[in-house]
Amino acid sequence: MAGMSELTRLADGGALAAAHRAGARDAEATRRAALIQAEAIQRRYGPLAVLDREARGGDGPLAGVPVTVKDILDVAGLPTRWGSASLAEARPAIDDAVAVARLRAAGACILGKTTTSDFASTPLGHSTLTGLTRNPWNEAITCGGSSAGAGVAVVTGIAPIALATDAGCSTRLPAAFAGVFGLKPTLGRIPHPGVPEGFANFIHLGLLAATVRDVALALSVVAGPHPADPHSLAHAPMGPVPAPSVAGARVLVWMTTGNRAVSAEVASATRAAAALLGSLGARVEERHCAVDNPDAAWRVLQQSNWAARFGAQTAEQRAALPPALARGVDEALRWSALDLQRALVRRTALFRAVQAEFTRGVDFILTPCCAAVDVPAEQDPLGPLVVDGEAVGALRTEWTAPLSLFDLTGHPAIAMPAAMSRLGVPIGVQLVAGWGQEARLLAAAAAFEQVCPPPCWPGFAA
């Protein structure tokens, strides 16, 4: 894009913060440049739900660094509208969500809120409030969801860091389609006391950034226990991230996780990533994954959450929900307590199956981020997934099984850009570690980043 500022070419938020602290760069100039870039990108790709032109940063590890927040998390002074036209007139939030408050206390400039599908209910980029968020690599292809705007905001230079959520794929999928890094940490590592039910919860907070270093920096700021999140209370403090390395690590490759198929180009990119890890000294083995597709359990658990929220609505109110969300609510209202308990048992079985691999000495699991990358921007969330020209089943069931699996098991997982598709869209792979092993996971991702750096969005050269 013509007139692109120096800021948009500097993807390293840590370097920005250091320059601000040292007085080598004016934080106010950074803020103004970020706003100019945000307005330009918004006009074409629409990644923002609201832009705060009065935002200011402070002192600290993220001094003056622009950061965006998904529009299902509260930012004081801005409305939380959940991507829904029904909440278009929502009043501004009074307080920051816990993670947002921690970012702000670290000096971040909370520049605005990024788009999401309605109530974060689909893995795509459409919202009744903000319309369609476009993929800047190829506008005909989805940007991924539900944190649709988060990846777009990072890759186009609006902000080096984005805070999002991840209950089924919602941090890692948009990161993969943007060509940036997306971390879903261990369940509870970033506290999320905003969820109504804290014990069977699997809704994580996640981070997207253009570099692994920035993911690690942001995680160091937002991680830590909170008295209202039971999962956060069990975590020991996270140590420093070691030097980048996978030397000697055992890496297990799962090409599928209960889904029927993966496209040829996604499989090729995943195997190429595995080979790169091998070249760095990892011991890599590809095996069939015997774990069941997580979608059966995931649907019962997540759609029950939706039903608890929307089930008391009138028929007229329910009719205003997007069709995929309304169908999920209707299905959940027909389930019994036994159905819910069986889903919880299935979730435990998934955890134990994954955990068994780490117990047997596996250090990391490598998977695709999704089964195919040529999913249209206008994809019907109730339609089928097409893989290499063949419809293979329901979109969510077949597309993002490798991601939703680790939401249910709670293991930390990071999406990493690995290749470019024939349609010019990034292809991401997912690296997973044992519970609480974020530091080791980030060190491995940083080693991969050194030999497979993320692609540079061509808009920067325009």
Residues classed as catalytic = 70, 146, 170
What distance in Å separates the CA atoms of residue 287 and residue 256, rounded to the nearest whole number? 10
What distance in Å separates the CA atoms of residue 205 and residue 203, rounded to the nearest whole number? 7
Three-class DSSP labels, 117-165: CHHHCCCCCEECCCEECCCCCCCCECCCCCCHHHHHHHHCCCCCEEEEE
What distance in Å separates the CA atoms of residue 270 and residue 276, rounded to the nearest whole number? 10
What distance in Å separates the CA atoms of residue 313 and residue 311, rounded to the nearest whole number? 6
What distance in Å separates the CA atoms of residue 364 and residue 382, rounded to the nearest whole number? 33
Phi, psi of 71 (to 5 degrees): -80, 40
* Sign of the torsion angle spanned by Cα atoms 132, 137, 142, 147: negative
Give the residue among 86, 8, 92, 10 at the shortest CA–CA distance from 50: 92
**Cα-based distances in Å from 442 to 235, 311, 318, 438, 454:** 17, 40, 42, 6, 15
The letter for the amino acid at 397 is T
- Tell the residue number behind the tokens 């092993």, with chain if given: 437
Max Cα separation, the chain?
61
What distance in Å separates the CA atoms of residue 352 and residue 20, rounded to the nearest whole number? 46
Bridging pattern class, strands 48-51 and 109-114: antiparallel
State whether residue 401 is helix, strand or coil: helix
Token digits for 18? 């250091």
What distance in Å separates the CA atoms of residue 444 and residue 129, rounded to the nearest whole number? 39
What distance in Å separates the CA atoms of residue 124 and residue 149, rounded to the nearest whole number? 10
Which residues touch 118 (CB under 8 Å, ≥6 apart)?
Answer: 82, 83, 84, 127, 128, 129, 321, 322, 325
Residue pair 402/254 in contact by the 8 Å Cβ criterion: yes
Give the residue among 291, 255, 256 at the shortest CA–CA distance from 273: 255
* HSE-CB for 290 with a 13 A CA cutoff: 5
Which residues touch 349 (CB under 8 Å, ≥6 apart)?
Answer: 292
